[in-house]
Chains A and B, each alone.
Chain A
Amino acid sequence: GENVEQHPSTLSVQEGDSAVIKCTYSDSASNYFPWYKQELGKRPQLIIDIRSNVGEKKDQRIAVTLNKTAKHFSLHITETQPEDSAVYFCAARGSNYQLIWGAGTKLIIKP
Chain B
Amino acid sequence: GAGVSQSPSNKVTEKGKDVELRCDPISGHTALYWYRQSLGQGLEFLIYFQGNSAPDKSGLPSDRFSAERTGGSVSTLTIQRTQQEDSAVYLCASSLGPRTDNSPLHFGNGTRLTVT
Q: B90 contacts the other chain (Cβ, under 8 Å)? A: no
Look across to chain A and name the residue whose beta carbon is closest to the beta carbon of B102.
A32
* Inter-subunit contact B105/A104 (CB<8 Å): no
Tell me whether chain A's interface is mostly helix, strand or loop, or mixed.
Answer: strand
**In the complex, what distance in Å separates the CA atom of A6 from the CA atom of B105?**
20
* Inter-subunit contact B99/A99 (CB<8 Å): yes
A91 contacts across to B, CB distance below 8 A: 43
Q: A98 contacts the other chain (Cβ, under 8 Å)? A: yes
Please give the residue numbers on chain B whose beta carbons come within 8 Å of chain A beta carbons, in ascending order: 4, 40-45, 48, 56, 58-59, 91, 98-100, 102, 104-105, 107-110
Please give the residue numbers on chain A whose beta carbons come within 8 Å of chain B beta carbons, in ascending order: 4, 6, 32, 34, 36, 42-46, 49, 51, 89, 91, 93, 97-99, 101-104
